[in-house]
Structures are given as C-alpha cells and as structure tokens.
Amino acid sequence: MAKKKVVMILLEGPSDAAALWKYFKNFFSDDKVVIKTLYTDITSQKGVYPNTIKAKIGHKINDELRRSKLNKLDLMSVIHVVDLDGAFIPDTAIKLDETADAFIYEDDGIHYKDVNTVVSRNIQKKQNIETLYKNTSGICGGVIYHVYYMSCNLEHVLHNLRQVAAEDKERLAYEFAARYEEDLPGFLRYMRESEFSVCSNYLGSWEFITKDLRSLQRYTNIGLCFAN
C-alpha cells in the first residue's frame, strides 16, 4: 500500500482547531491530516515582518514535522488559515474610542483608544499577509503552501458574531463541529456556496477581500481548500 501523503493545517488557536479539524480530516480522508495550532496570530506577532514571515512559518512547519516524526518529503501541502481582523481597511476607518481597552470591530471600522496602535498593527499584518498570498514560494524549502482567510474572524464567519468573549469561543467552536458532524456535504456547501463564500479563484479571492472595508465584513475563501 502506498504511503499516505500529509496535508498540514496551520490554525491560529484552539477554537479554530476544535471547529474545523474534523472537517479537514473527513475531506482529506485519503491523506494523513496533521493539525498544527500556532496559539498566536503569526502575521501580527511582534518582530515578524515581510522579510521574516516565511522563515517563521517554515520553523513552525518543521517543528510539527519533527513532533509528528514526519519528513518534509511526506508533505503534500500546507494550508494556513488566518483571521483578517480588518487589517486592510483604510486608516480613515480607524476610530478613536478612549473607553475601548481592546480592538472593537464594527461595520464602520475598528474602534480603539489609540489609533496609532491600530494603524501600526494593520500595516504589519497587511504586509505579512500580502507576502504570503502573492508569492507562496520559498516556505520551508519549497513546500506547497496557501493561506486562506476568515473575515473578520472565525466566529464572524461561522456564527455571524464579531465580538466573542474568550470564555464563549470554545463552546461556539464545538457547536459548529457538531453542526455537520455526519454531513460533510452540508459543511462543504456552507463553505463553498454561502453568501459570504469567496470561491472564484485563489488570487481573485484575495483581491476581493483587500478592498474597502471587506476585511471587516463577513467573508471567507476557505471553501477553496475543499475544491473537488
């Protein structure tokens, strides 16, 4: 029997893994699926910029290969899912709110007590994401890598909720995992054919989401991961 190829899924947090891992495993049932939870938004992490982002992701891939006792030659592809968090909105849509101790994502923009902090975060995150989706070569010695988005974040796409308390994230993730527990086709329809699905083509889906306020609005191109 031929050895199974490996699909590695990079996810930002445990709620992403709880909500999605089963669907990835079921869809890629003919291959070995490895889920790597990063426990961070690597695209806005301190010290990570366009000249280091690919190396940083390569280190994460190699760490998981070692942990899973796999070889890079076993890798068929790497799928990386990121939250956009409004990173591509114009600076004019960043609103001063002196009472906001955390970023608040609304239809009209991002509200926070320090506008410059949001501007700096957005520049870093935007530049890193552009580096990843515009040129996927050079990651971990040339593995097949693609990055996909949830906008504004995971709960926004899966539950139409932008602001979710930390204590509610796990509950919502398991609710979604159970929604299509025995219905992979239903999950695929939800991701590919909903009004928020941006599944024309890979680069086109990124060109779409980077315009205007769309990175704050409810969209995802993750359905492209599950193309037949």
| pLDDT tens digits, one per residue of 42-80 | 999 999 999 999 999 999 999 999 999 998 888 999 999
Mean per-residue pLDDT, 157-172: 95
User: What is the pLDDT at residue 227?
Assistant: 80
* Per-residue pLDDT at 6: 92
pLDDT of residue 183: 96
Q: What pLDDT, on a 0 to 100 scale, did the predictor assign at position 121?
A: 98
Between strands 109-112 and 104-106, the pairing is antiparallel
Q: Residue 203 has which token pair?
A: 């680069």
| Per-residue model confidence (pLDDT) at position 8 | 96
pLDDT tens-digit readout, 177-218: 999 999 999 999 999 999 999 999 999 999 999 999 999 999
Asked if the model's pLDDT at residue 136 lies above 90, the reply is: no
Q: Which two tokens stand for residue 12?
A: 């930002």
Q: What is the mean pLDDT of the chain?
A: 94
Q: What average pLDDT does the segment 78-106 reach?
A: 97
DSSP 42: G
Percent of the chain scoring above 70 in pLDDT: 98
- Sheet harboring 75-83: ordered strands across? 32-37, 6-11, 75-83, 145-151, 219-220
* Separation in Å, CA 5 to CA 48, 75, 141, 188: 30, 6, 17, 22
